[in-house]
Structure 1
Amino acid sequence: MTTLTPVLTRNWDQPDSFTLAGYERDGGYTALRKALAMEPDAIVQTVKDSGLRGRGGAGFPTGMKWGFLPPDSPNPRYLVVNADESEPGTCKDIPLMMANPHVLVEGVIISAYAIKSNHAFIYVRGEVLHVIRRLQQAVRDAYAAGYIGKDILGSGYDLELVVHTGAGAYICGEETALLDSLEGYRGQPRLKPPFPAVAGLYGGPTVINNVESIASVPSIVANGADWFTSMGTEKSAGFGIFSLSGHVTRPGQYEAPLGVTLRELLDMAGGIRGGRRLKFWTPGGSSTPLFTEEHLDVPLDFESVGAAGSMLGTRALQIFDDTVCVVRAVLRWSEFYAHESCGKCTPCREGTYWYKQLLKRLEAGQGSEQDLDTLLDLSDNILGRSFCALGDGATSPVVSSIKLFRDEYIRHFEQGGCPFDPAKSTLWGGAAV
C-alpha cells in the first residue's frame, strides 16, 4: 500500500485551488446538487454505509453520530464544525482550509441538509487569521453563488453558515467547551449527559464534527459508499491525511488509505532526516502513547494502533531521531498541558502542574527513581478521573515514555544531567545534524 489517494488534497498544487472558480473547475459543488435531489435520511444512510469515522481523533462513526439526533425535539438543530486544531503535532485541518476551503463549505451544506439543520457554524482557532480570512471569503462566494442562503439551488432548503473565531484555547477543541465558547461563555467542558446530540448549542440538538470529517462527505455523496470502503480496512474505511513532522526528510501532508504503515510513509517522505535512526514517534499527536521503531509496520488504522498500545488520534506523526532526549520532549508536552488545562477539575489542574515540576527536576538530573514511581502514581490519579479527555491525553506521553525509556530517565539522575547534548538536536533549535 504505497500509493497515495489524493482526494481532499487533489488540487492543492493549483494556484487558484482556494477560489470558487478553481473548486468548480475540479467538479466542486456537483455533490451538493446530487445531495439536494436525495432525501436527507438517504444521505445519512450513505455516510453510515461508507464507514466514515470521525477524523478529529476519537474515530466515532460519523453517520451514527448524525443518527443520534432526537426526531421530536422542538428546538432548532445545529451543525458545528470543530476547526480549533490545537493538538501538538496536528497540522492537517489548517492547510486543508487554506488550500481547499470550498470542500469544507460544500461538506457543511450537505451535512446540514442531511441532519435537517438550517444553522451551521465553523469554529476556527483565533490565531490562524489567514485561514479565517480565506474561509470567510469562501463563505461569501458560496452565498453569492446561491450555494448558501435561502432556497439553495431552488431546492427549498435554507441554510445560514457562520465562521466563528475562537480566542485560542486548547480546551476549546473539546466539543462541549467549544459550545460554551461559541455561546459566549468561558470555554470549559460540560457535564455529560446530556450529550450535545440531545442538548448542545443553545440547548438544541447539535452535531459536532471535525473539519476533515465534514470535508470527506462531498466525495462520499458523489462517488458512493462502496467507493469509500474500497480504500482503507474493513473497520477503518477510506482515506486520511497523515501529517509527518519532525526529523523527516520531506515533512508534510500525505493523504493515504487508512492502514498504511509509517515505514511506507517514510519511504515516500525520504526517510529520517540526515540518515539518522528513528527513536520514537507519535501515531496521533502528543496525547497518544509513544511508539518506537519496533512499531514501523503497525497498520495505521484505529484497530491496529489500539491493539499495539496507542491511538490513531489525528494521524499527527511526529518523528524523533536518536539525537532527541525523550525526557525533554515529554517535559515540553507536559508544560503545554499544564498551561492549557482549564482548571475546572482537580486531577488535571494539579496533576499536570506536578508533571511539569517533576519532569523539570528529572531533566536537570536532580531527580531519583522514586520520582518515576510518583509520576506513574500521578498518572493513575489523572487517567479516567479528569472531567474531560485533556487529563487523559496528558498522561499518555508520560506513562509510555517511562515504559519504553525508563533507562534514559535513570541516566539523567545517575549522570547529574541530560546525557544528550542539546546542540546536536535540531528539534530544540540547535545546530543541524
Structure 2
Amino acid sequence: MTLTSFGPANRIKRSPETHPLTWRLRDDAEPVWLDEYQAKNGYAAARKAFADMAQDDIVQTVKDAGLKGRGGAGFPTGVKWGLMPKDESINIRYLLCNADEMEPNTWKDRMLMEQLPHLLIEGMLISARALKTYRGYIFLRGEYTTAAKHLNRAVQEAKAAGLLGKNILGSGFDFELFVHTGAGRYICGEETALINSLEGRRANPRSKPPFPAAVGVWGKPTCVNNVETLCNVPAIIADGVDWYKSLAREGSEDMGTKLMGFSGKVKNPGLWELPFGVTARELFEDYAGGMRDGYTLKAWQPGGAGTGFLLPEHLDAQMYAGGIGKVGTRMGTGLAMAVDNTVNMVSLLRNMEQFFARESCGFCTPCRDGLPWSVKLLMALEKGEGREGDIETLLGLVGFLGPGKTFCAHAPGAVEPLGSAIKYFRSEFEAGIAPTRAAVPPLARPIVVGA
C-alpha cells in the first residue's frame, strides 16, 4: 500500500497544517512509537484537553468543527457524543472504537493502526475525557494481526508514560484501554452487532431504540466511533475549529480531510489524505495516475463494495457526501475502485453478492433469503442460463431489500451496487438470458431503479 501527499507526483510534502492525519508518517512505513510521536507534538492535544478544557467544551468543539463519522455513515460526531447521558451518577460508561474494517476494497483504518497507533490512542483518550468513559475497547478485525501487535505495544507504552490507567496527567481521571480482536464477521461493523460480539453474544444487530448511548455494552451508556473519526480529534483540539474547517475545498459540506484511495487496474493504486471536496477526477488522474496501459475505465465505485457504480462521466463529482449524492450514490469509505473494460459486470456482481449473502447474520427474512436469491439468479445469468423475468426479479429484490425494509443497513448496502449495475449495464445482464428457457413470473410489484 502507498500513501502519497497532497500534490500530484509528491510535489508537496505532508505538513501539520494540511495533513492532520498523516504528517507524522515515516517514509519507511514503520510504526511511529511513543518517543517519536511525542517528538512530533503527540499527546499535546490531550494535555491541552485535560489542562485547559472542560469536558463539555471538548464535545462542543468537535461538534462545531463539523467532524462526521468516517466509517461510511457520516453521522455528526459531536451530535453523537451529545447523546451520552449528562447524569453524573452514571459512573460506568464505555467508549468503543470500531476497527472491524471488513468492507471490501477498504484498508484506510489498517494503515492508521499499523503506522500511527498512538494517534488513535490519543484520539480515544481525549474522547473518553469528553464523554466521561472510564474504559475503552478497540474492536479490531481478527485478521489485522499486525495492527493488533502494534496497538498492544502502543497501549503499554502509553500506560508506562502515565497516559492511560489511573490519574492520567494528574487529573484524577482514569481510563483503561483494551484491544479486542473479533472473530471475523462483516456484520460486526454495525455498531450494535459489534456490542453483542464484544459481550460474547452472537453478532446480530440490536433493535433501536434504545440506542447505545443509553443502553450499550452490558447495559451501560456507550459511544461507538470509527478509527479514522477518532484520529481526527487530536488535531481539532490542538489547532481549532476554524483551521479544521478551512481544510475542505470550496463547495464541500463536509469539513476537514479524508483518507481516500483508488484500487483496480490503475497505474498508482494507493491511499492519500485529501481535502473533502476534491474531485474524483483529481483522485483518479492526478493521484492514481489513470488506468494502466491497455485498459480503459468502464465504471467505478466511490467508497467500498456497498456503494453504487458510477460511470467515467461522473468523475467530476466532488468527493464529499453531498457531492457523490448528486450523482446517485454514497461517499461510503472514500476508497474508490476502478472497473476496467475487461470486467463482466454480471460476474463482478455475482462475486459481490456472494460475499454479502455469506456475511448476512440471517436475523431478518429479506436479507437472509433475498441475498442468496440474488446470487442464484446472477449465477444463472453468468452461465447464460437466465430466464425472461430474471432481471425484473433482481430489480424487485433491490427494492424489497432497500433502505427501511430490513433490520439493519447490511442488505441495502448489498443491493445498491446491483441496482446501479443493472441501470448502467443492463445489456450485459440481458446477454445472460437463454432464449430457449421458459420465462418465470417476476416478483410481485417489481420496483425499478430510478422509477
Structure 2 Cα separation of the partners of residues 87 and 195 of structure 1: 23
Structure 2 residue aligned with 1:62: 77
Structure 2 residue aligned with 1:225: 241
Structure 1 Cα separation of the partners of residues 31 and 365 of structure 2: 46
Question: Does residue 262 of structure 1 match 2:250?
Answer: no
Residues 235-293 of structure 1, C-alpha deviations (whole Å, 9 max, x = no match): 20110000211111111111101111121012222111225221111111111111110
1:292-371 alignment, distance < 5 Å: 292-371=311-390
Deviation at 1:382, TM superposition (A): 1.4
Deviation at 1:7, TM superposition (A): 2.4
Question: Does residue 169 of structure 1 match 2:182?
Answer: no
Partner SS, residue 358 of structure 1: helix
Question: Does residue 250 of structure 1 match 2:268?
Answer: yes
Structure 2 residue aligned with 1:382: 401
Partner SS, residue 103 of structure 1: helix
1:402-421 alignment, distance < 5 Å: 402-413=422-433
Runs of 4+ in 1 over 4 A off after TM superposition: 1-5
* Native 8 Å contact 2:252 2:276 kept in 1: no
Structure 1 Cα separation of the partners of residues 189 and 325 of structure 2: 22
Structure 1 residue aligned with 2:412: 392
Partner SS, residue 273 of structure 1: coil
* Native 8 Å contact 2:140 2:182 kept in 1: yes
Partner SS, residue 8 of structure 1: coil
Aligned with 1:19 (options 12, 20, 33): 33
Partner SS, residue 123 of structure 1: strand
Structure 2 residue aligned with 1:152: 168
Q: Which moved more, 1:13-22 or 1:361-370?
A: 13-22
Structure 1 Cα separation of the partners of residues 382 and 23 of structure 2: 44
Structure 1 Cα separation of the partners of residues 435 and 337 of structure 2: 28
AA partner of residue 428 (structure 2): E
* Native 8 Å contact 1:17 1:23 kept in 2: no
AA partner of residue 377 (structure 2): L
Residue 412 to residue 318, structure 1, CA distance change in 2 (3 Å): same
Residues 302-327 of structure 1, C-alpha deviations (whole Å, 9 max, x = no match): 11111211000111201111111111
1:113-262 alignment, distance < 5 Å: 113-232=129-248, 233-262=251-280
* Native 8 Å contact 2:252 2:320 kept in 1: no
Residues 406-426 of structure 1, C-alpha deviations (whole Å, 9 max, x = no match): 01211233699xxxxxxxxxx
TM-score w.r.t. the length of structure 1 is 0.93
Partner SS, residue 412 of structure 1: coil
Q: Which moved more, 1:124-133 or 1:230-239?
A: 230-239
* Native 8 Å contact 1:75 1:203 kept in 2: no
Partner SS, residue 303 of structure 1: helix
Amino-acid identity (%): 50
Q: What is the root-mean-square deviation of aligned Cα atoms in Å?
A: 1.6
Aligned residues: 416
Structure 1 Cα separation of the partners of residues 39 and 339 of structure 2: 40
TM-score w.r.t. the length of structure 2 is 0.89
Structure 1 Cα separation of the partners of residues 119 and 280 of structure 2: 27
Structure 2 Cα separation of the partners of residues 234 and 119 of structure 1: 35
Structure 2 residue aligned with 1:10: 23
Deviation at 1:130, TM superposition (A): 1.2
* Native 8 Å contact 2:139 2:182 kept in 1: yes
Residues 81-120 of structure 1, C-alpha deviations (whole Å, 9 max, x = no match): 0000011111100111101111000000000001111111
AA partner of residue 286 (structure 1): A
Structure 2 residue aligned with 1:285: 304
Structure 2 Cα separation of the partners of residues 79 and 200 of structure 1: 10
Deviation at 1:234, TM superposition (A): 4.9
* Native 8 Å contact 1:75 1:205 kept in 2: no
* Native 8 Å contact 2:261 2:283 kept in 1: no
Partner SS, residue 285 of structure 1: coil
Structure 2 Cα separation of the partners of residues 363 and 22 of structure 1: 53
Q: Which moved more, 1:266-275 or 1:235-244?
A: 266-275
Structure 2 Cα separation of the partners of residues 9 and 97 of structure 1: 12
Aligned with 1:108 (options 117, 124, 131): 124
* Native 8 Å contact 1:172 1:178 kept in 2: yes
AA partner of residue 353 (structure 1): P
Question: Does residue 35 of structure 1 match 2:54?
Answer: no
* Native 8 Å contact 1:298 1:305 kept in 2: yes
* Native 8 Å contact 1:123 1:164 kept in 2: yes
Structure 2 Cα separation of the partners of residues 6 and 369 of structure 1: 53
* Native 8 Å contact 1:91 1:243 kept in 2: no
AA partner of residue 23 (structure 1): Y
Deviation at 1:357, TM superposition (A): 0.5
Partner SS, residue 258 of structure 2: strand
* Native 8 Å contact 2:123 2:233 kept in 1: yes
AA partner of residue 401 (structure 1): A
* Native 8 Å contact 2:71 2:333 kept in 1: yes
Residues 338-378 of structure 1, C-alpha deviations (whole Å, 9 max, x = no match): 11001111100101110110001111111134110010112
AA partner of residue 257 (structure 1): P
Q: Which runs of 5+ in 2 are unaligned?
A: 1-5, 9-13, 437-451
Deviation at 1:2, TM superposition (A): 5.7
Structure 2 Cα separation of the partners of residues 335 and 257 of structure 1: 34
* Native 8 Å contact 1:2 1:264 kept in 2: no
